[in-house]
A and B are shown apart, each in its own frame.
Chain A
Amino acid sequence: DAGVIQSPRHEVTEMGQEVTLRCKPISGHDYLFWYRQTMMRGLELLIYFNNNVPIDDSGMPEDRFSAKMPNASFSTLKIQPSEPRDSAVYFCASRGTGRTGELFFGEGSRLTVL
């Protein structure tokens, strides 16, 4: 299995632009998570899905952030409009039912907002 695949690996954009990050979970996994990592705040859970349905989005910082999972093999995290404080590494992770603590993380998308 190729693991969790994220794209783009690096994104540099200007303040006010829309950013879309993409994630393909491991086939057969029914939970998908979006995390954000910064030096100041560490790893933070933003939102997670179960069977493509958003379950908990309490970690989403504000309305500029939105996430979707249109099918079991694809999810997006969108920031519109982007701000410099959104600069971070965004990780996607997935896991299967039953292995509740074993998350598989992607390589991350490093976002820089100028």
Chain B
Amino acid sequence: DAKTTQPTSMDCAEGRAANLPCNHSTISGNEYVYWYRQIHSQGPQYIIHGLKNNETNEMASLIITEDRKSSTLILPHATLRDTAVYYCIVRVARAGNMLTFGGGTRLMVKP
């Protein structure tokens, strides 16, 4: 699986958009980008994933650059409850291929 690079930490003001970047310059054509988050003392939670096109769901939007070498997870209106570690993971969507978690970005949403 391609290696990902994320900032160690970020701050965001409550109510503002949180934009979390992820670099995956060695991504292959059949690798998807997945985002998970882990709120303190809880298990990781799936957020969203995509291959080429931008994706949006009730939690977030995922913007993938045209060359697919980087992506941005957008939380449109961050709340205090969005404070968490956010993991960007790149993997082939194959049944036997597992998720490998890196260090992630610690997002702190401040009032």
Contact across chains for B44 and A43 when beta carbons are under 8 A apart: yes
Minimum Cβ distance to chain B for residue A109 (Å): 10
Interface residues of chain B: helix, strand, loop or mixed (majority): loop
What B residues does A107 contact at CB under 8 A? 42-43
Contact across chains for B49 and A101 when beta carbons are under 8 A apart: yes
Interface residues of chain A: helix, strand, loop or mixed (majority): strand
* A25-49 interface (Cβ within 8 A of B): 31, 33, 42-43, 45, 48
Partner of A103, one of B46, B94, B95, B102: B46
What A residues does B34 contact at CB under 8 A? 101
Report the interface size for chain A: residues with CB under 8 A from the other chain: 22
What B residues does A105 contact at CB under 8 A? 42-45
Does A12 interact with chain B (Cβ within 8 Å)?
Answer: no
Given A33-B98, A48-B98, A56-B98; A104-B103 close (CB under 8 Å): no
Does B28 interact with chain A (Cβ within 8 Å)?
Answer: no
Contact across chains for B98 and A45 when beta carbons are under 8 A apart: yes
| A interface list, Cβ under 8 A from B | 4, 31, 33, 42-43, 45, 48, 50, 55-56, 91, 93, 97, 100-108
Given contacts A33-B98, A45-B100, 8 further A-B contacts (CB under 8 A): A42-B101, A42-B103, A43-B101, A50-B96, A93-B44, A101-B91, A104-B46, A106-B43
